[in-house]
Amino acid sequence: MESLLAYLKKEREQEWRVELRSKIKNKERTSLERLAMPEADPDIRNKSYCEVNKGLTEEQAIHEARRCIDCPSPTCIYGCPVGINIPKFVKLIEAGEFLESAKVLKETNALPAVCGRVCPQEAQCEKTCFYNEKLKKPPVAIGNLERFAADYERNSGHISVPEISSHNGIKVATIGSGPASLAFAGDMAKMGYDVTVFEALHEIGGVLKYGIPEFRLPNEIVDVEIDILKKMGVHFFTNFIVGKTSTIDDLRKQGYAAFFVASGAGLPNFMNIPGENYIGIYSANEYLTRINLMKAAHDDYDTPVISGKNVAVIGGGNTAMDSVRTAKRLGAKNARILYRRSIEEMPARNEEIKHAQEEGIEFLNLTNPLEYYGDENGRVKGMKVQKMELGEPDDSGRRRPIPIKGSEYEIEADTVVVSVGVSPNPLIPRNMPELEVSAWGTIKVNQDTMQSSIPDIFAGGDIVRGGATVILAMGDGRKAAGGVDQYIKEKVRNILSLIKEFKTIGDILEFATK
């Protein structure tokens, strides 16, 4: 098979690409400044759920695409877990062929409008961009361009549906409907399989819908990308808990030939400190689900949520930023982050931290909660916290937070959102004792095929990695699709070779009844 580099080089020599390169000298390209993403005014957006990032205009996108020098050996592509042909989609934007650009994205990415909004590009494709690696200049804004192409296509109304091979009639199931599952479903459908997605909640999308707020990722954008999968023939069942509504064994009996478990890491962690059960203390998952999925902020929904004036969010990841920015939008006067390390160690994306700061979020870094206080009705009213200092790096490579003795003090808090990590969803592993899991409850898989210890069960995304990212989950989904295809083809080959050995119709009937 042709190597990826050879393939990319051949594509780069296509006439239109050569012509485009010849129009502008590299020196001129590299002298262009990276364009900032247009954003909504912080004082307006922190009171509304409108999208914060506004997207590039056509002119801005073409300018940004011109910065890409169309490297002979592109390194950006190796930073993309789903292997998008980045130079090609960027050059199509430069050429003004926006719809064609969106098609290139969809060849390997079932959710380009989602990824263009939430992927940590700074740690992936943009990190390995030539500008970063060799010129020490801001990389090409690949994520902003991905969003542009996907949005352009959606707004144009000419939404392309990827080509699918002829149906092979083989049924496969995927459990959960987050990005891992959706990527798996897209690839399997393209290969001609009959794919069904089983989702426990009443909405499709996993964290994309119940976790990430609409001011970062509007639900309607997720829905458009899901609709494309529906058009590709993928079936969706909601309110269906695999392990309760039906077991995997029940589904095997219905003829599913293989399963992809992508049930995520939706089990929240708590700190187990005194007072954590007071009313008004939520896990980030519960808090965000009430608002994003159950629409607690909308007047015409009756989902309750406590909209405190003094909200403390514990943690420093994307989930903590989403929670605290949501609290601000719900009317909190003081919306605070309490994080036990310094801002440099925060796992949240830089952009999310910047947006939170602009929106008036207060950061109490190097601060850790010790205990919560409640009123006579059992409602949280305050907390004791302690100052921390940083010691030597720990196993995560980040400097270890060390409590400073005698530095305890109290702060008011009428709502607390605990966002200190998540654990894998335990339902499926608990129902299948033969399924090998790690000490943390993640499903163990072969890293090349995503096959678990049970041959017809594959797994990927957060249930394998613990809480990770959208694009890593999607990369797993794509890898698992390759693994399942290989597994099923192998099985079919074995059956065919067995059939060749049969001498009589009786042999065939005996085999069929086994």
| Residue with smaller CB distance to ligand FAD, 244 or 493 | 244
Q: Is 263 in the site for ligand FAD (CB under 6 A)?
A: yes
Q: Which of 288, 366, 420, 484 binds ligand FAD (CB under 6 A)?
A: 288
Report the distance separating Cα 504 and Cα 221, nearest Å: 57
Residues 330-389 that bind ligand FAD (CB under 6 A): none
Which of 278, 211, 222, 249 has the alpha carbon at shortest distance from 419? 211
Q: Which stretch binds ligand FAD (CB under 6 A): 7-15, 203-211, 338-346, 376-384?
A: 203-211
Burial of residue 25 (CB within 10 Å: 0-12, 13-18, 19+) is exposed
Binding-site residue total for ligand FAD (CB under 6 A)?
Answer: 40
Question: How buried is 457 (Cβ within 10 angstroms: 0-12 exposed, 13-18 middle, 19+ buried)?
Answer: buried
Which residue number, 209 or 336, has a Cβ lying nearer to ligand FAD? 209
Nearer to ligand FAD, 326 or 386 (CB): 326
Q: What is the rounded distance in angstroms from the CA atom of residue 44 to the CA atom of residue 142? A: 28
> Does 52 interact with ligand FAD (rule: CB under 6 A)?
no
Residue 368 region by backbone torsions, left for phi larger than 0, else alpha for psi between -120 and 50, else beta: beta
Tell me: does residue 200 bind ligand FAD (CB under 6 A): yes
365 in Cβ contact with 375 (< 8 Å)? no
> Measured from the CB atom, is 319 or 386 closer to ligand FAD?
319
Contact criterion met (CB below 8 Å) for 460 and 180: yes
Residue from 74, 176, 316, 483 binding ligand FAD (CB under 6 A): 176
Site string for ligand FAD, 265-284 (x = CB under 6 A): -x------------------
Cα–Cα distance measured from residue 477 to residue 459, given in angstroms and rounded to the nearest whole number? 8
Neighbours of 277 (CB within 10 A): 11
User: Is the CB of 116 or the CB of 308 nearer to ligand FAD?
Assistant: 116
Stretch that binds ligand FAD, among 24-32, 256-264, 378-386, 432-440 (CB under 6 A): 256-264
- Give the one residue of 264, 268, 280, 347 binding ligand FAD; rule: CB under 6 A: 264
Q: Does 116 bind ligand FAD (CB under 6 A)?
A: no
Q: Which of 93, 242, 337, 388 binds ligand FAD (CB under 6 A)?
A: 242
The two structure tokens encoding residue 477: 């989904």
CA 148, CA 158: separation in Å to the nearest integer? Answer: 15
Neighbours of 159 (CB within 10 A): 17
Interacting residue with ligand FAD among 291, 428, 435, 457 (CB under 6 A) = 428
* 241 contacts ligand FAD (rule: CB under 6 A): yes
The SS3 of residue 236 is strand
Nearer to ligand FAD (CB atom), residue 386 or residue 415: 415
Of 352, 257, 264, the closest CA to residue 313 belongs to 352
Min CB(269)–ligand FAD separation in Å: 12
- Minimum Å gap between C-beta 218 and ligand FAD is 14
Q: Which amino acid makes up residue 14?
A: Q
Note whether 427 binds ligand FAD by CB under 6 A. Answer: yes
What single DSSP character describes residue 457? E
Residue type, 213: P
CB of residue 369 to ligand FAD, shortest distance in Å: 20
Among 124, 144, 174, 177, binds ligand FAD (CB under 6 A): 177
Q: Which is nearer to ligand FAD, 383 or 470 (CB)?
A: 470
As measured in angstroms, the least distance from the Cβ of 267 to ligand FAD is 10
372 in helix, strand or coil? strand
140 by DSSP, 3-state: which? coil
The distance of closest approach from Cβ of residue 59 to ligand FAD in the complex, given in angstroms and rounded to an integer, is 27
Q: Give CA–CA dist 93/149, Å, rounded.
A: 7
Q: Which residue has the tokens 């049924």?
A: 171
Binding mask 304-333 for ligand FAD (x = CB under 6 A): --------------xx--x-----------
Nearer to ligand FAD, 177 or 365 (CB): 177
Among 89, 98, 198, 215, binds ligand FAD (CB under 6 A): 198
Contact 158, 106 (CB under 8 A): no
Report phi then psi at 256, rounded to 5: -75, 130
In the complex, least distance from residue 465 CB atom to ligand FAD, rounded to whole angstroms = 8
Q: Which position among 262, 306, 337, 488 is part of the footprint of ligand FAD (CB under 6 A)?
A: 262
Interaction of residue 425 with ligand FAD, rule CB under 6 A? yes
Are 369 and 273 contacting, i.e. CB atoms less than 8 angstroms apart?
Answer: yes
Q: Are the C-beta atoms of 424 and 289 separated by less than 8 Å?
A: no
- 3-class DSSP state for residue 76? helix
Closest distance to ligand FAD from the beta carbon of 154 (Å):
20
If binding is defined by CB under 6 A, does position 212 make contact with ligand FAD? yes
- 450: contact with ligand FAD by CB under 6 A: no
- Using CB under 6 A as the binding rule, whether residue 468 contacts ligand FAD is answered as yes
3-state SS assignment for residue 8: helix
Any idea what the Cα angle at residue 433 is, between residues 430 and 439, rounded to 5°?
70
Rounded-to-integer distance, Cα 28 and Cα 51, Å: 33
CB of 74 vs ligand FAD, minimal distance in Å? 22
Among candidate residues 372, 305, 364, the one with its CA nearest the CA of residue 335: 364
Q: Which residues bind ligand FAD (CB under 6 A)?
A: 118-120, 175-181, 198-201, 206-207, 211-212, 241-243, 262-264, 266, 288, 318-319, 322, 425, 427-428, 461-462, 467-471, 473
